[in-house]
Amino acid sequence: MTVSPTATPCAVITIDGPAAAGKGTLARRLAEHYGFAYLDTGLLYRAVGRRLLDRGGDPCDVEAAVEAASSLRPEALEDPTLRSDETASAASQVAIIPDVRQTLLQFQKRFAASPPGGAPGAVIDGRDIGTVVCPHTPYKLFVMASLEERAERRLKELREQGIESIHGRVLQEMKDRDARDSQRDVAPLVKSEDALLIDTTEMAPEMVFSVALDHLSAQGLAPPELRS
């Protein structure tokens, strides 16, 4: 099914921003609050990259990457290895391939137009959701944090998973990934003009959530108890 690029038949909250800025934490909290379906679009690209790695392929192989994207199934997003650094690196490589992005774009638009489980809306996070996937929704957020803070968060996450790493390497990987995301020719990471910018560097998750709720309410998104 191809969804019209202007169609936004239900409420869709978009959250964009760089890695480890706090998008996922906020997105999951908002989805739970409003009773919306949640999609982490980064997992789509990670699933494509993971499939290529598992096959011994090259993430830069355009034909193989497009095939992997075309045959992607929702259950692939449950793979725990999608959170590894190796998979993240592969994901950032397949993400710059235009045909892969176009294929996964349709997946995301279908999710936004018809959220699974009969949910009344969707929360979608990524890097081009407010600019490309759902540009017409009024509910847009852009979450960022300083590079140093994001590296510290990522390092803590890795160590909690029992993965030893050093700050310098994590910081460099974050820089490299930011560069790939912001400098790619197709759908680069950029803040939509009508998105609320939230800098989470010195903000607790509860405060980030509160700021987001205030903005969404001001944009006309009613709390769940007032929606029919």
- Within-domain flag for 55: yes
Residue 166 is predicted with a pLDDT of 84
Q: Which token pair is 57?
A: 């392929």
Give residue-wise pLDDT tens across range 14-50: 999 998 999 999 999 999 999 999 999 989 999 999 9
- Within-domain flag for 25: yes
Counting as low any pLDDT under 70, the low residues of the chain are 1-9, 225-228
Give the domain CATH number at 164. Answer: 3.40.50.300
Question: What one-character-per-residue DSSP string does 66-84 give?
Answer: HHHHHT--GGGGG-GGGGS
- Within-domain flag for 87: yes
Residue 228 is predicted with a pLDDT of 54
Exposed, middle or buried: residue 152 (CB in 10 Å: 0-12, 13-18, 19+)?
middle
Domain count, the chain: 1
Domain of residue 71 covers: 11-210
